[in-house]
Amino acid sequence: MEVIDLSHTIHDKIQIYPGDPLPSIKRGLTHEKDYCHVDVLTLGSHTGTHIDAPFHFLEGGKKIDEIPVRKFVGNGVLVDVSGKSDRELIEPDDVEPYRTKINTGDFVIFKTGRDKFFGTSKYYLHPYMSAECARLLLNMGVILVGIDAMNIDPTYQKVTDLEAPVKDLPDENEYGYPVHDILLGNDILIVENLSNLDEISQIKGIYSFLPLKLKGSDGSPIRAVFMGT
């Protein structure tokens, strides 16, 4: 069986969504002073490669510990949108060529190729899904959507240190986070900050996005894995 690691490594200086809590990994016990080594971890629930539960956007939504574990492992279809430019929309037409391969209960994973910019300001300029695309996946019976980018909606971060001009961001107050609203509002899970999708050589395979079982949490960092034949 082919097994591919799809997670970024978490560390003190990992790139995070603007405004999220800064992560910290400190020594609690050490071999020199104590009987063993124990680290103290301070992390936001969306640090690194992570999964969103409906509670992330919905006050009455399911929390990560309330979701059956079977929802985190399943068949996924890899949709290649790596030809998209900075902040270009992912539209229903991008899904059409894969439509016959997507079954009810499947995951859909978007490969933008933007993971190669992780840790740089260009990572904020990722393509993102349109509301129409989110509704299409909802109507197709998809139960999880993943992406190798900071966000499945736009990342509202002004980037000023790039040489190339970039498109203006939509207004956050007017545009909001429609894809999160549509997907999480219908109990469709979201995985963000995936990596190494270019190492997957087949369109369909098994994905595992198991979170920590954090009581009452809106999400969790994950060790994302692809398993193929």
Query: Rounded to whole angstroms, how far apart are CA atoms 9 and 127?
Result: 22
pLDDT at 55: 98
pLDDT in tens, 71-103: 999 999 999 999 999 999 999 999 999 999 999
CATH architecture of 2-7+46-228: 3-Layer(bba) Sandwich (3.50)
Distances (CA, A) of 142 to 157, 188, 216, 229: 29, 7, 25, 22
pLDDT in tens, 95-114: 999 999 999 999 999 999 99
Sign of the torsion formed by the C-alpha atoms of 133, 184, 122 and 87: positive
- Residue 24's beta-bridge partner residues? 42
pLDDT band at 164 (very low <50, low <70, confident <90, very high): low
Size of the chain in residues: 229
Query: Rounded to whole angstroms, how far apart are CA atoms 149 and 155?
Result: 10
Q: Where are the domains of the chain?
A: 2-7+46-228
Alpha carbon 193 to chain centroid distance?
4
Q: Is 72 left (phi over 0), alpha (psi -120 to 50) or beta?
A: alpha
pLDDT at 167: 66
Tokens of 38: 């124990």
Query: Rounded to whole angstroms, how far apart are CA atoms 182 and 159?
Result: 27
Query: Rounded to whole angstroms, how far apart are CA atoms 207 and 64?
Result: 18
pTM: 0.96
Sign of the torsion formed by the C-alpha atoms of 54, 21, 16 and 209: negative
Tokens of 166: 């970039």
Tell whether the model's pLDDT for residue 30 goes beyond 90: yes
Mean pLDDT of 22-34: 95
Tokens of 25: 């990994």
